[in-house]
Amino acid sequence: MSAKQIRFGILLLSWFTLLLYPKKSLKKYMPATLLAAVLLLLESLFSVPLRLWQVPGRNKTVNDASFIFGPFFAGTLWVFRFTFGSFKMYMLLNVILDCLLAFPLTKFFEQKGVYELKRLKHWHLFSLAVAYAGIIYGFQMLWSKRR
């Protein structure tokens, strides 16, 4: 399986899971999910000149849109759906998922040529993902209080 097929597959699979997602929850958690996507897009833009990671064969400016708008987007919605209201459960699930991404999944994706970490190390990836989780949870709390 090629890197391009893997990227397309994870994007498609992520969106297929959203067919089961309740519309009410979609509306409720979309602002935090969009914030997460913007944060990841900004990180992606900075990753190119800083050489944090490389995605072979992709656009030089935004080189990982299949991850941002695939598993991260869908995953953020699902995690909020099942854990919002319990910060401990939310963070525990995020730590588990972020650990899986940063270590075994990243090694797998590197072996398959999907992407390769350069200056960014596995622990950095994990730490950034956990930090983003905290930021978007705080944002969702503020958004929910506003409504």
What are 113-117's contacts with CB under 8 Å, separation 24+? Answer: 113/2, 113/3, 113/56, 114/3, 114/6, 114/7, 114/55, 115/53, 115/54, 115/55, 115/56, 115/63, 115/64, 116/53, 116/54, 116/56, 117/52, 117/53
pLDDT band at 61 (very low <50, low <70, confident <90, very high): low
pLDDT mean over 55-75:
80
pLDDT computed for residue 1 by the predictor: 83
More confident residue, 62 or 113: 113
pLDDT computed for residue 146 by the predictor: 87
SS3 1: coil
Alpha carbon of residue 66 to chain centroid:
10
pTM flag (> 0.85): yes
- How is residue 15 written in tokens? 């969106």
pLDDT (tens digit per residue) in 66-83: 899 999 999 999 999 999
Residue with tokens 């400016």: 61
